[in-house]
A and B are shown apart, each in its own frame.
Chain A
Amino acid sequence: MSESVYIVGIDMLKFGRHPDKSPGQLGAEVALGALDEAGVTIQDIQAVYSGSNYTTMIGQKVLQQIGQTGVQIINLVNACATGATTIREGWTGIRAGEYDTVLCVGVEQMTGMGMLGAAKTGPIPTEGLLGSASMPAVFGEAGMEYAARYGASFADFAQVAVKNHHHSTMNPKAFLQKETPLEMVMESEVIAYPITKFMCSVNVDGAAAAVLMSERKVRERGLMGQAIRIRASSVSSSPWQERDPVMADINSVTRLAVDKAYAMAGLSSEDLDLVELHDCFAPAELQHYENLRLCGEGEGVAFLQDGTSSLGGRLPVNVSGGLLSKGHPIAATGIANLYELALHLRGKAGARQVEGARIGLAHVVGLGTAAAVHILEKA
């Protein structure tokens, strides 16, 4: 089947602390938001693709809130790429001709969790022996690799946080909405050099959901006016590299995913109007400028420092505030990125609107490792 698949309804929670709600309730709220926007009910949904890293059977828990219709539910886990992977699976199900209307939902409740990463792998704890498995340390190492290759400085990394926190002051759904000047970022507590506290995304509660529809169904229901065309959907896993997985490689996997996406869409980075990429930690954003082919090798620092990736620049990156400001509820992030793109493509992003946005790219990376890239276009 060669017809396109569309997003016709999409919603995300304001990320933050929701200790009084269960994961099923969080997912249910955004599912209803997406269904209502699409003008469909749970009875119209033919399959559910749901994801959570810390809650099992999340799809069932959501439908136990909003309607146990007995349809296929696939629960999946792909680390931080979980949400985007539910979209990929929903897309694939519609493209296979099995369904014309599906629900994708990602939920994570993380309040109270400390730093992620350290795993007891074997008879004794390995933290401090196998270096550190904490996410800040893993991304600190990746940042230092980038610094050695391209000459990025500690201040360059910190500037990513300055930019994204500034963007978030215009995003009412971001957890953090506070300016963080460069000195404040650089002088905040070092978690794992070169990463300071304000250069880390925060573990928060969140959920996001989308209704996907086949082209035929979109036309039948008269929804083309609000529909967002999925021009590309790709997921990759970490290919063999000399140091991976001893040193997690977020670069190769991203390049695999994005090159597939550009080929699928018949587009290049020159066609993009905005990008939401995986800035789980500030140095990662610089790495992904090159990885996503937004600029040439070695041009990432300039891409940031000359304002290209700021709102108002030629190719704004993370105008939502990114993971650094919105927070990073693991399974919700991949759909929340698409929510941001959809807002801009529909002209509804308010103070942070990227003028004339027609095509956007969203990217996530899940350690272990998976990467997902979606390219969206206003229908």
Chain B
Amino acid sequence: MTETLPKAAFPFIKIDAAGRPSLVAQRCRVCNATFADSGRVACSRCGARADMLESFEPGYDGTLYAASIVRRGYPGVPVPFISAIVDLDGGPTLKGTLRAKNFDPAEIVHGRRVKVVFDDALGRTDEGGNRYISHFFEPA
């Protein structure tokens, strides 16, 4: 039985024909704003249209800008986990889950260096039964 490739969980992730994930983002050629996005209609900073937005592969290293240790979750979402805002080197900023060793404030110090990794999206599948690949942050 052939296995279908997993899908990208978010518009800033792409999966190639061999199933390898990578980051993808957009940069405005007019004002240099970056977006964790693909297929934008326009730049929300300067208004330049889609033809002036170029696709690029962001760096995989970044800096923890802010985070919160989530201890009360929603049904079906195990806690605790760390919700993190990370500025990738060169942009853009991503939000995701930081897979750190512990769940205490020492793990979420502003300015900490982290890196982006990819993994299965916590076992979640869509209505068609497709699996997904998501991004996660890990300490550098």
Considering the complex, give the chain B residue whose CB is closest to the CB of A139.
B68
**A189→B71 CA distance, assembly (Å):** 9
**In the complex, are the beta carbons of B65 and A247 less than 8 A apart?**
yes
**In the complex, are the beta carbons of A131 and B83 less than 8 A apart?**
yes
Given contacts A127-B73, A130-B96, A246-B94, contact A240 B44 (CB under 8 A): yes
**In the complex, are the beta carbons of A243 and B85 less than 8 A apart?**
yes
**In the complex, are the beta carbons of B66 and A145 less than 8 A apart?**
yes
Binding site for B on A (CB under 8 A): 114-115, 118, 122-132, 134, 136-138, 140-145, 147-148, 154, 189-195, 240, 242-243, 246-247
**In the complex, are the beta carbons of A130 and B122 less than 8 A apart?**
no
Chain B residues near A137 (CB-CB < 8 A): 68, 70, 83
**In the complex, are the beta carbons of A242 and B68 less than 8 A apart?**
no
**A57→B99 CA distance, assembly (Å):** 44
Interface contacts (Cβ under 8 Å), in number, total 140
**A340→B33 CA distance, assembly (Å):** 42
Excluding A125-B77, A243-B93, A247-B85, 10 further A-B contacts by CB distance (< 8 Å) are: A126-B10, A129-B97, A130-B96, A132-B81, A137-B83, A144-B67, A190-B69, A191-B72, A195-B68, A247-B93
**In the complex, are the beta carbons of A240 and B124 less than 8 A apart?**
no
Chain A residues near B110 (CB-CB < 8 A): 144-145, 147-148
Given contacts A124-B126, A129-B122, contact A246 B67 (CB under 8 A): no
**In the complex, are the beta carbons of B10 and A122 less than 8 A apart?**
yes
**Residue from A144, A240, A243 in contact with B108 in the complex, judged by beta carbons closer than 8 Å:** A144
**In the complex, are the beta carbons of B77 and A128 less than 8 A apart?**
yes
**In the complex, are the beta carbons of A141 and B66 less than 8 A apart?**
yes
Given contacts A128-B81, A243-B87, contact A192 B69 (CB under 8 A): yes
Instruction: Report B138 CB to chain A, min CB distance, Å.
Output: 14
**A127→B71 CA distance, assembly (Å):** 13
Instruction: Report B10 CB to chain A, min CB distance, Å.
Output: 7
